[in-house]
């Protein structure tokens, strides 16, 4: 593949973000059905992969034609060897994680810790670049802290080291999710670089996407929590309008996820246990769904709706149940989906 073909792979896409737990294969398959273009593995620890672990994370469903693997680590040779393994197992692209804020990762000098070490970061990119010829993206944050917002210079260095695209999450490592994402520097990077810059942060509705398209030069986007709250977001973003999904539809979407999970994990006791665990995890996001309108978006602007509290659900009992954040309600939902005890309801 030539460099320009590899960069084109990331142009004008609305991709599903790499997400630990949330980016499990059955869930990616569901999002793919709703139009997610690029899908990505959960974060894979390169050193663990090389010791024989993490292998299940490299798997993808046949529908995921543009599936990529995200690697985390700090050793250039290790990251390069892991990229080769990922490519051999069918990854269409590699993403390098330079944004993970989690303490255990940062303490080991990987993830967002590398935002503070541009030399090491580019060494890793160059090593991976020379090991594989498939498209290569890197995922950055604005910087490590608000005092050192170095994502534009890191993006340029990443390009020079061989990255085909740069994804920027509009927050610092220190910020976590407290404030709305800031797209100012993402825009600056998009105007500066000649490779695609993928914008990331708080895309929850078609109006968020329209706003970022109008206010910035960014033309590729990455969606994380929006996809966890409503897998049909990819359809909404493509059509430009909100899709109000009824309560019966929400039940059947959950059932579809369960079917995919049982197909993937197996429908024996062990598989069912894993499906249960993932299902309960997903409910913590699904319960946050609310049919936001354009008016809600305008009222919240310029802050993100993702920062807003989810309003109360409507009066119907099932609507209230599906909006509940209560773990005992989540067990009730699980049981009803498992028994298909929502049909004709």
Ligand X SMILES: Cc1cc2nc3c(=O)[nH]c(=O)nc-3n(C[C@H](O)[C@H](O)[C@H](O)COP(=O)(O)O)c2cc1C
Beta carbon nearer to ligand X, 127 or 223: 223
- Residue 32 CB, shortest distance to ligand X, in Å, is 17
Furthest-apart CA atoms within the chain: distance in Å? 61
199 binds ligand X (CB under 6 A): no
Residue 165 interacts with ligand X (CB under 6 A)?
Answer: no
Give the number of residues in contact with ligand X, rule: CB under 6 A: 23
99 contacts ligand X (rule: CB under 6 A): yes
122 binds ligand X (CB under 6 A): no
For ligand X, the closer CB: 139 or 173: 139
- Binder among 17, 113, 165, 322 for ligand X (CB under 6 A): 17
- 101: contact with ligand X by CB under 6 A: no
Q: 129 vs 212, which CB is nearer to ligand X?
A: 212
- Per CB under 6 A, contacts with ligand X among 227-256 are none
Q: Is 212 a residue that touches ligand X (CB under 6 A)? A: no
Specify the residue, 113 or 223, whose C-beta has the smaller distance to ligand X. Answer: 223
Q: Which of 100, 151, 167, 287 is catalytic?
A: 100
By CB under 6 A, tell whether 225 contacts ligand X: yes
Contact 334, 276 (CB under 8 A): yes
Check if 100 is active-site. Answer: yes
Q: In this chain, which of 24, 38, 39, 70 binds ligand X, going by CB under 6 A?
A: 70
26, 196, 199, 201: which one contacts ligand X (CB under 6 A)?
Answer: 201
- The answer to whether residue 139 forms part of the interface with ligand X (CB under 6 A) is yes
By the rule CB under 6 A, 175 interacts with ligand X: no
Q: What is the smallest separation between the CB atom of 138 and ligand X, expressed in angstroms? A: 10
- For residue 24, the minimal CB distance to ligand X (Å) is 11
CB of 235 to ligand X, least distance (A): 16
CB of 43 to ligand X, least distance (A): 3
Q: Which one of 77-85, 152-160, 196-204, 244-252 is the stretch in contact with ligand X (CB under 6 A)?
A: 196-204
Kindly report the number of other CB atoms within 10 A of residue 209's CB atom. Answer: 21
- Taken in order 228, 234, 236, 237, is the CA torsion positive or negative? positive
The Cα-based distances of 91 to 55, 60, 87, 94, 283 in angstroms read 13, 8, 5, 7, 29
Binding ligand X (rule: CB under 6 A), the pick from 9, 22, 69, 83 is: 22
Q: Which stretch binds ligand X (CB under 6 A): 26-34, 58-66, 80-88, 218-226?
A: 218-226
At 232, phi and psi to the nearest 5? -80, 5
- The residues that are catalytic are 100
Applying CB under 6 A, the residues found at the interface with ligand X are 17-22, 42-43, 70, 97, 99-100, 139, 169, 181, 200-203, 223-226
């Amino acid at each position: 593949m030539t460099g320009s073909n590899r960069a084109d792979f990331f142009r004008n896409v609305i991709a599903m973000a790499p997400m630990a737990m949330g980016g499990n294969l059955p869930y990616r398959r569901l999002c793919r059905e709703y139009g997610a273009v690029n899908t990505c593995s959960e974060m894979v620890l390169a050193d663990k992969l090389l010791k024989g672990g993490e292998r299940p994370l490299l798997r993808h469903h046949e529908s995921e034609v543009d599936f990529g693997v995200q690697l985390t680590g700090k050793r250039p040779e290790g990251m390069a060897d892991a990229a080769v393994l990922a490519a051999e197992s069918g990854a269409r692209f590699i993403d390098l994680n330079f944004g993970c804020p989690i303490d255990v990762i940062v303490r080991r000098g990987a993830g967002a810790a590398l935002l503070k070490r541009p030399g090491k970061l580019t060494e890793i990119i160059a090593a991976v670049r020379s090991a594989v010829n498939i498209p290569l993206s890197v995922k950055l944050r604005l910087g490590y802290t608000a005092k050192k917002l170095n994502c534009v210079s890191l993006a340029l260095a990443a390009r020079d080291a061989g990255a085909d695209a740069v994804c920027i999450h509009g927050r610092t490592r220190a910020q976590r999710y407290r404030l709305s994402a800031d797209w100012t520097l993402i825009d600056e990077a998009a105007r500066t670089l000649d490779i695609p810059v993928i914008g990331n942060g708080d895309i929850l509705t078609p109006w968020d996407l329209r706003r970022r398209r109008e206010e910035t030069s960014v033309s590729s986007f990455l969606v994380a929590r929006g996809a966890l709250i409503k897998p049909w977001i990819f359809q909404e973003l493509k059509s430009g309008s909100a899709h109000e999904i009824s309560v019966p539809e929400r039940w059947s979407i959950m059932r579809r996820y369960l079917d995919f999970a049982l197909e993937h994990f197996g429908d024996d006791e062990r598989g069912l246990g894993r499906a249960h665990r993932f299902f309960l995890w997903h409910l913590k996001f699904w319960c946050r769904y609310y049919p936001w309108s354009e008016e809600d978006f305008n009222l919240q602007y310029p802050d993100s709706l993702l920062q807003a509290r989810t309003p109360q659900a409507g009066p119907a009992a099932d609507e209230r149940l599906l909006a509940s954040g209560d773990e005992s309600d989540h067990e009730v939902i699980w049981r009803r989906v498992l028994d298909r005890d929502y049909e004709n309801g």
